[in-house]
Structures are given as C-alpha cells and as structure tokens.
Structure 1
C-alpha cells in the first residue's frame, strides 16, 4: 500500500511540474509578443491566448493582467488609426480582466492601477471634452495611486511621459517636458529588474524610440 501511495505521489508531482513548465512556456511566448505586436488583430490573438491560460489557473493574477494589457494595446492601436467607435467596448473588455487580476493579486499593485489608468484614458478618448471630468479624473486618480505605490516603476514614468508629450500645450502638455520624462523613464528601465521572468517588463522599447528620436 505504501509503495502504491509513493508511486501515486511521484506521478502527481511529475504531472504538476509538467503543467507548471507548460504554463511558463505559454506565458513567456505570449509575453514576448506584447511589444512586437502592432495591429488590433495581433492584440486580439494575444488577449485570447492569455484568456485561455487564465482559465487554467484562476488564482494567478498575471494571465488576467496580460489579457487586460493586450486589450488596452488593441484599443490604442485602433486609436492611432482614428477608429474611436469601439474604444468603449474594448476598454470594458480590458476592465473585466483588470478586475479579475486585482481580485487575486496578493497586494495593492501599482501595475494593476496603471492598467486601470490606461483603460480610463481609452474611454476618455472617445469624447475627451465630455469625459475629461469623469474618465479623465479616474485616469489621474489611478496614476497617482500607481506612482505612490511604486515611484520607481518605469512603466508609470513611461505613461506619464506619453500624457505630457501628446497633450496639447493649452491643456498643460509639453513635448519638451514629455521628452525629458521619456529620458527619465528609460533611465528607470535601465536600472529596473522584474521580480520574475513573468512579471510586467514591457515598455522599454517605446522609451528608447522617443529618446533615440530626440538624439537625431
């Protein structure tokens, strides 16, 4: 009987290790595509992939987080093309995953607050003048929380730089100040080490793009 129980335990441990290895491989493959994807279709595929991964481990916040991020990046891709009509729906899809990530994340998490900020900004861009006091205020609130929780987070610095750079001067923006903030973000990326290979580590290539452009 003891021999049977030992064999069962070893088999279970082997299957668990294989499942964990399979999970990490799938996560790494899809995370690597977050910064190389460009089209809405590519981000849709990534969101669906992370959705499937999340379904296999609903107590892990990271697959939900990346599914939310993929949806946000999908919305931002459409926004760059001037396609604003679907942003409310996409932001809503992203928010479902962000809320799921927040529910199972171990602590109050700056990365999740930053996604909340980005989702609110997407909703605001549908009609900035009408939504500045609602979604715009929500975005500012979430950014403040993220920055307070993790002031050296390079992604917080990056999104802050974007806001400054792309906001018209009459509303408080500045391309010059924004460029300095991109440099600050890149410096933070260069000294930043994620907690693990699966933890958020996106954004450096964008900071490099703007900083390298400034040097030309």
Structure 2
C-alpha cells in the first residue's frame, strides 16, 4: 500500500512539474508574438510552437499559436502587397490548425483562425476566389459565433470585413467602427479560460478607433 502511494505521489509530482514547465515555455513564447516585427520573427515563433506541440502531443494550444503566428505573417505580407506568398503560408497555417482541431473539437477560437485563413487565401486573387473563400470564411465565423457569441475576436473580424468592404458591396467604415467599439467593449469583460488561452485583438480595435477617418 505504501509503495502504491509513493508511486502515485511520484506520478502526480512529475505531472505537475511537466505542466508547470509547459505553462512557462508557452507563456514566454506567447509574449513574443506581440514583439514580432518581421515575417522571419513570425516564422521562427510558428516553428517553435509546432515543436512544442509535437513534443506534448495532446495540447491544442501550441498548434493553435503555430497557426496564429503563420496567419499574422501572412497578414503582414498582405499589407505590403506580397500576396503571391499567401498560398504557401496559409497551407502551413492550415496544417497546424487541423492538428489543433483534432485535439479540441467545437472550439470557437479554432473556427476564428479558420475564417482568417480563408480571408488570406481570397486575397491572392480576389476576383476569382471571392465567392468560394468568403462563403467558407463566413461559415467558419458562424460556427464560432454559435459556440461563443460574446467572443470579441468574432466581432473584430466582422468589423474588419465591414470596414474594408466597399460601400457598393455592403461595407461601411462607420458601421465597421461601431463594430470595433463593440469588440473593445467585449474585451473589457472578456475572460480567457486560462492564462494561455487566446487573448489577442484588443490592440487592433483600439488602433482603428484612435485613427478614425
């Protein structure tokens, strides 16, 4: 009995130590996302998160952040007009996101990233891809909203779409800014499930509201 107790105590201690180490490593890597300044920075972070995920095997968050950093790399390149690189980047992001999805079903945060991937794919050739990718993106965002209607990142993506879509196609900068404000209000009360769970996006809402046309 004593031997069984000691074995259980040892296993518990090892498990707690492993979780603590995982939390520490992930916290350090997540903090570096906001510090990333170049596509290469995002590539390095994405690779780091993939390595963590491959080591842990049962944790969805490393693969989520691998996809997230790949997407942020794509958005950075898109803003500088380098859209020809987006197909390869979204393929990398999709691979990581699929692994996260396999480990965490019906997860609103994963559907949010899926919507962003479709948005980047569309930007490679908007005239050809608009219908297919926009519909797939809208479907992903709808799934996210059903699972977590008060998630501010859902509102953020709606705000982006509304703000950047020309008025003749149903967009509106005014309505977009209203949605950015709604997202910011949601961020004020939103609480991630854990310290490692996604909590990004507030800065973007603040930026658009501070730079109204």
Q: TM-score, normalised by structure 1?
A: 0.92
Would the aligned equivalents of 1:35 and 1:203 in 2 still touch at CA under 8 Å? no
Q: How does 1:106-185 map to 2 (within 5 A)?
A: 107-185=105-183
The equivalent of 2:14 in structure 1 is 15
The equivalent of 1:41 in structure 2 is 40
Secondary structure at the aligned position of 2:35 is classed as coil
Measure the CA separation in 1 of the matches of 2:73 and 2:169: 26
Matched, 1:207 2:210: no
Secondary structure at the aligned position of 1:42 is classed as helix
Count of aligned pairs? 213
The equivalent of 1:69 in structure 2 is 68
Q: CA deviation at 1:150?
A: 1.4
Stretches of 4+ moved more than 6 A in 1? none
Secondary structure at the aligned position of 1:197 is classed as coil
Would the aligned equivalents of 1:120 and 1:138 in 2 still touch at CA under 8 Å? yes
The equivalent of 1:54 in structure 2 is 53
Q: TM-score, normalised by structure 2?
A: 0.93
Measure the CA separation in 2 of the matches of 1:144 and 1:84: 26
Q: C-alpha root-mean-square deviation of aligned residues, in Å?
A: 1.7
Q: CA deviation at 1:46?
A: 1.1
Residue segments in structure 1 that go unaligned for 5+ positions in a row? none
Residue segments in structure 2 that go unaligned for 5+ positions in a row? none
Secondary structure at the aligned position of 1:152 is classed as coil
